[in-house]
């Protein structure tokens, strides 16, 4: 349901993968609206999203916004060594929690 809603809203119905959803979360968290991003900025957007998604799990903590408005996080706890399938489950769970908190889904 979440993937379908996001895919309809942001990808003209093409199914978004988990990386695309994380990228969208990064754009949302940056809060600078729609604009073109450079390659290194795209990587940073993914990092912002991952930090935001894993913050409730105690892995990251928001520190500050820099002069350009980019959020910065500090590592609180190192991520455990997870198998790829476990990483995917953790990220999917975190994404669902994120959108539930925004009341995008219930």
pLDDT tens per residue, range 13-67: 677 788 989 999 999 999 987 789 999 999 999 999 999 999 999 999 999 999 9
- Residue spans of the domains in the chain: they are 2-101
What DSSP string runs through 20-49?
A: HHHHHHHHHHHT--S----HHHHHHHHHHH
Q: Cα separations (Å) of 90 from 26, 36, 51, 86, 87? A: 17, 29, 13, 6, 5
pLDDT-based confidence at 72, cuts 50/70/90? very high
Decide: 96 and 102 in contact? Cβ < 8 Å.
no
pTM, two decimal places? 0.86
Which tokens sit at 67?
């002069």
């Amino acid at each position: 349901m979440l993937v379908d809603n996001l895919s309809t809203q942001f990808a003209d119905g093409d199914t978004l993968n988990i990386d695309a959803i994380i990228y969208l979360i990064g754009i949302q968290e940056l809060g600078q609206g729609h604009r073109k991003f450079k390659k290194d900025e795209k990587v940073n957007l993914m990092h912002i999203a991952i930090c935001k998604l894993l913050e409730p799990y105690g892995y990251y903590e928001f520190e500050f916004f820099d002069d350009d408005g980019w959020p910065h996080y500090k590592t609180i706890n190192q991520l455990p060594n997870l198998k790829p399938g476990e990483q995917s489950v953790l990220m999917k769970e975190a994404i669902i929690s994120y959108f539930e908190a925004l009341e995008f889904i219930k």
